[in-house]
Amino acid sequence: GKTIFLFLFIFASCSKKPKLQTSMEDIGLIPIPVSVDSQPGTFEILESTPIYVNGDDELVKVANYFSETIHIISDFHLEIASSSEEIKSGVLFKISSEIKNEEGYKITASENLITLEAKDAEGAFRGVQTLLQLLSVQENADGIRLGIPAVKIEDYPQYEYRGSMLDVSRHFFSVDEVKRYIDLMASYKLNVLHLHLTDDQGWRIEIKSWPKLTKIGGSTEVDGGDGGFYTQEQYKDIVNYAAARYITIIPEIDMPGHTNAALASYPELNCDGNAPELYTGTEVGFSSLCIDKEITYKFVEDVIKELVEITPGPYIHIGGDESHSTELEDYIPFVTRVQDMVYKYGKTPIGWDEIRHAKLKKASIVQFWANKENAKAAVKQGVKVLMSPSARSYMDMKYDSITPLGLQWAGLINVKKAYNWNPATLVDSISKKDIIGVEAPLWAETIETMEDIEYMTFPRLLGYAEISWSPDSLRNWETYKLRLAKQYKDLKLKNVNLYESKMVPWE
């Protein structure tokens, strides 16, 4: 009797819970990994699935991040244990010296075991994003079932700098909004968030030695809203939040132009000693710090000093764009002096492509946005270029002529145009070795809310993530658009205010 009972019991539980079937074909990984070898079978993640960590505390944190994300999706609490023994079933996070590339990782998933090996915790974090994209979530009356298809993946990035920029000056965005953007970036393995903290319309970072910058300069924004700013504590909170996702924050103080908010806060920074009115329009190129006054350099040095204290990342962005009210003969010594200050405090300067007019130190970075001659001249000086071509990567450009937000001075950028370019061949005589990476900026003259941010960045941001991570040979619009289509469910789950381009067969 007992055997029959047992048999019935097994039969009943099997019929209740059939084997979970998932397939790689249903999954569109973005960015596409260097190699994917799909296998038969599915690993099912259960409440009881153990996570083992063979590595340091940082790796434990990454495993925790994975476990917490699974918890948000499914309510499962996956326990984490450390283990240096050979594991036969469960999920294993492991540091492996065989993985040589920075941020590199390897996933081996079978029905019983998922192994995520990485060069270091950062590589493991990128690999976790792949695992989360591989995850299929099936919901029925019995609850949620989670599966990961059996697969072998080897992966690492093509460019070390894979970034995006938020303009928090033209319109201010809260700490929580920036954090949400950071989370979204992390899903696609982006690793740099550049914050455009100052401009004519607003100064957004507390500088303790110059308190009026935020008190006056932070008090408004485009069209006269309330503006706002980050205290240094809030800024550190953003930096730490980003760091936990292996994203570096790069702060930008734009100068000598784009400085009306500072000039309006302190009359002594103006050549004539008179503070201009605060500015809430969208013109560019009318303001300049006073190049001949010594107080200008005291001001800049104080700002850089305080910024460096709250910036663990290696870079400080010094702006330098559209300084149309600064003579070139003034601009050059200004940039040279500010460049030196950044090095003096142990950081590396980045500037918009115009800074190439100054003699640059080899480690400095030039961000190409508009002028190819500037980019080429920078490379001739032996510095590396960050690719942010406005005609391809400016996420404030409209998708098409009826896009309700955005500008179009650099042209319309539909989802295909945003994806279908190669940083290594865009500018003749600039090749991969001259390029540190790609950054997609979102200028915020017309962007007021998180929904606006999402509408302009999604889905284009996924394209920039793939351009900067994946090998050229695997990038192809026809296959990309099918993978992008498969991201629909996930983007909706994350409540992203997606622009549903007709060029993509959304699923």
- Residues at the interface with ligand TNX (CB under 6 A): 284, 321-322, 352, 369, 394, 396, 407, 443, 445
Residues contacting 35, CB < 8 A, separation 6+: 152, 153, 154, 155
Least CB distance from residue 392 to ligand TNX, whole Å?
13
Burial of 139 (0-12, 13-18, 19+ CB in 10 A): exposed
- Please name every residue paired with 146 in a beta bridge, in sequence order, or none if there are none: 45, 137
DSSP annotation string for 104-121: -EEEEE-SSEEEEEESSH
Catalytic: which of 322, 439, 448, 454?
322
User: CA-to-CA distance for 70 and 451, rounded, in angstroms?
Assistant: 25
Angular region, 147: left φ>0, alpha ψ -120 to 50, beta rest:
beta
Q: 96-109 burial string, b = 16+ CB within 10 Å, else e? A: beebeeebbbbbbb
Q: Are the C-beta atoms of residues 342 and 314 closer than 8 Å to each other?
A: no
The SS3 of residue 161 is: strand
**Unique residue bearing structure tokens 């000093």:** 305
Shortest separation between residue 410's beta carbon and ligand TNX, angstroms: 7
Whole-number minimum distance, CB 316 to ligand TNX, in Å? 16
Query: In this complex, which beta carbon is closest to ligand TNX, that of residue 153 or of residue 261?
Result: 261
Coil, strand or helix at 465:
helix
Neighbours of 50 (CB within 10 A): 15
Q: Give CA 251 to chain center in angstroms.
A: 13
List CB contacts of 280: < 8 A, sequence separation 6 or more.
201, 220, 221, 222, 223, 224
* Closer CB to ligand TNX, 393 or 470, in the complex: 393
Q: Least distance (Å) from ligand TNX to the CB of residue 194?
A: 11
Output the six-digit token pair for 131.
């695992």
Least CB distance to ligand TNX at residue 47 (A) = 49
Which CB, 71 or 324, lies closer to ligand TNX?
Answer: 324
Nearest to ligand TNX of 117, 254 (CB atom): 254
Nearer to ligand TNX, 218 or 351 (CB): 351
- Cβ proximity to ligand TNX: between 53 and 386 the closer is 386
CB 455 within 8 A of CB 499: yes
What are the tokens at 4? 């029959």
d(CA 507, CA 488): 6
> In angstroms, what is the minimal distance from the CB of 396 to ligand TNX?
5
Nearest to ligand TNX of 45, 365 (CB atom): 365
Using the minimum distance from each CB to ligand TNX, give the nearer residue, 120 or 322.
322
* Residue from 228, 222, 262, 230 nearest 249 by CA: 230
- Give how far Cα 31 sits from Cα of 134, 162, 503, Å: 12, 11, 19
CB of 200 to ligand TNX, least distance (A): 8
Closest contact distance (angstroms) between CB of 353 and ligand TNX is 8
d(CA 167, CA 282): 13
- Contact between 181 and 236 under an 8 Å Cβ cutoff? The reply is no
246 or 394, CB closer to ligand TNX? 394
Q: Cβ distance 445 to 199 under 8 Å?
A: no
In the chain, count H helices and then E strands: 16, 18
Among this protein's residues, is 233 annotated catalytic?
Answer: no
> Which of the residues are catalytic?
322
